[in-house]
Structure 1
Amino acid sequence: MSRSRRLQRLVSVFRAFFDESGNDRRRNRALIMGGFVGHVDEWLKIEDAWDDCLHQHPRIEFFKHYECQSLSGQFWKFNREQADQKMLDLAAVISNFDLQGLCAIVPHALGDIDKASRKYARGAAKAYDWGFITATKMTFQWMEPQPDGEKVDFIFDEHSALRFNIENFNANKEEPFLRDYMRHAGTCTPGKDEEVAALQMADLLAGEFSVEGETQVRSEALRIIGTRNDVGYLRCEPPAQHMRMLDLLTFGSVLRGEVGEFLKLQRQNLLSPEEAHERLANLFALEAFVNLQRKRLVEFLENDPAYQEFRKRYIEATGIDPMVLSAEDSEELS
């Protein structure tokens, strides 16, 4: 048996593996979610070749792009030339097999809502979320020629935001409006790139694509990968209401936090009548501001042709008007 951890062939005959790079919004202009999709049989063949290349002198046990770049971890005994050559040798392994490379580009300028607001979000709130959405979208587009019965399983490298996205992914499979879009969706699970060769390949692709985005120079590793395998890329384009919704969620989170703090101090009798009156006045002012932001969002949606077309199709598919907030939703945003 190969030294690498073998993939077990299940029902799905296609697998897509993704890893992200460019996470630091202070240093990187965009997050890159990169990876490969291919037939399970092709993945099984590539593992032995990848494992053999890893263990050729100078030997490493697994590949991490940032360790290769910084000469740390597995590459701590390497010099720059040796590390670069090892990455080129691994890129050559990828080029020998039939895989489709995919890279999602998510500019950090799209913005993130604060951590406290995230639990109230109904959709993407972080750059990682949009990377996940765009990567799965590209994979489904690649799967379009396949018969409806064919599924693709997704494996993403472990990340703190992955659980949230897997929950949304599974919920979307049950959403009537998304039935056709998700028809090729198999499972979606986390993996460790130290253990899964295909995630190491995804890491190499995402890392080098991120470097190209920052330097505007195509690396030799990407050129080698592209000699046989096409690498498609797509810039994330969130809906026009995205930033407005994030603002509303953030302001709503601040209001909830302020209300909670006020009630806590009141229960502990730590506020004088004057202080309580001042805090209440501030809370009412903040509530008015949140309600104004909600009103502006609704007005924007009512006058946005793209959203109204989506609204029409959603009502036809589900019988539910997305413009009508339930009492529970309205309470959460207030």
Structure 2
Amino acid sequence: MPIQAFVDDSGGKGATAHFVLAGLAGHSDSWAHFSEEWRLCLSESPAITAFKMREAASCTGQFRYMTDDQRDKKLRALGRIINRHARLVTCTVIDLSAHAETWALLDKPRNDPYFWPFHNTIAAICFSLWDYGWREPFEITFDEDVIFGPRAKLWYPVVREVLKYREPEASTILPVDPRFRSDDESLPIQAADLFAWVIRKKHDDPTYDRFDWLFNEELMAVQMSEYVQYYDKQRMSDVTAESHRLAREGAVPTEVIQAYQRIYAND
């Protein structure tokens, strides 16, 4: 069965201190069972029609009529479903104030906070699966983002060529084409939302521990990738400096240059 990954985001400029993309990976047959169980759990009293961790944390929206006790029981039930079917979680975290001083000064779309986490999340899942012995291409689906998603995806052929150059073996399992779906269409994206929100919240406020019990008791089987990335100012500056060095020294592979030129030829 093919591996499928589902990714959601949390945070944004002017609203939070960090932006996060979190992805969950598992076998396609497991995700099919997950969706059945998730939909059933949502419908059980007290019923909700869709899950968003932000609403669960504040008992608003779909959770507005629940007590803290009822909310926690619902979270436990949903967490157990994730634990049964997801095998890997990865995340990319970007410091938005540092981004404003570094990558925000680049040209579009590389100045979007979404851009680098999008590509790093694909790479992190790729390298993790390769380390676990997976040798077939995986599929990846991101939560729908009508503005930043297509801009980032346009650069995927360039990033894929870079990864082929740097990691020729592992890159053979990269997805052919990242996809976008709403979390109503792809229920595993709702599960990724849980991780994205809590990870972002804990980076915004390192003392935040309200839902530590959920991860320590109900989500123990979901393995954290070794390729998690945190982009602070130094890390962003280093990435930019390395890119400039390669360009200056003419060390950019021909395939990467050609993929880059195709983007602007079709612009």
| Same fold (TM > 0.5) | yes
CA 1:158/1:320 → structure 2, altered by over 3 Å: closer, same or farther? closer
Pick from 149, 164, 182 the counterpart of residue 151 of structure 2: 164
Select which of 155, 174, 182 maps to 1:185: 174
Question: Which structure has the greater CA radius of gyration?
Answer: 1
Q: Identify unmatched segments of 5+ residues in structure 2.
A: none
Deviation of 1:95 after TM superposition, in Å, equals 1.4
1:202 to 2:192 alignment: yes
What is residue 288 of structure 1 aligned with on the other side? Answer: none
* 2-structure distance, mates of 1:195, 1:173: 27
1:63 alignment partner in structure 2: 51
Task: State how far apart, in whole Å, the 2-side matches of 1:39 and 1:109 are.
Answer: 37
What TM-score comes out, normalization by structure 1 length?
A: 0.63
- Give how far 1:20 is off: 0.7
Shift of 1:196: 1.7
| 2:4 matched residue in structure 1 | 15
Quote the Cα distance in structure 2 between the aligned partners of 1:319 and 1:133: 18
What runs of 5+ residues in structure 1 fail to find an aligned partner?
1-11, 243-300, 330-334
Q: Find out whether 1:128 has 2:118 as its counterpart.
A: no
On the 8 A contact 1:112/1:126 being kept in 2, the answer is no
CA distance in 2, matches of 1:312, 1:35: 35
Decide whether aligned partners of structure 1 residues 229 and 311 sit closer, same or farther in structure 2, where only a CA change above 3 A counts: farther
Per the alignment, residue 30 of structure 2 pairs with: 42
Deviation at 1:210, TM superposition (A): 1.8
Q: In structure 1, the residue corresponding to 2:85 is in which secondary structure? A: coil
2: distance between equivalents of 1:71 and 1:320? 48
Deviation at 1:313, TM superposition (A): 8.1
Q: Report the AA paired with residue 230 of structure 2.
A: R
Counterparts of 2:81 and 2:111 in 1: how far apart (Å)? 36
Q: Is the aligned partner of 1:229 residue 2:215?
A: no
- Find the aligned partners of 1:168 and 1:74 in 2 and give their Cα distance: 36
1:142 and 2:128 correspond: yes
The Cα of 1:178 is off from its aligned counterpart by: 6.4
What amino acid is the match of 1:19?
D
Name the CA distance, whole Å, in 2 between partners of 1:177 and 1:75.
48
CA deviation map 1:118-139 (0-9, x unaligned): 7x43x62122112212211211
- Alpha-carbon RMSD: 3.4
The alignment partner of 2:66 has SS state of coil
Q: How many residue pairs end up in the alignment?
A: 246
The one-letter amino acid of 1:50's match is W
Pick closer, same or farther for the CA change 1:212–1:140 going to 2, 3 Å: same
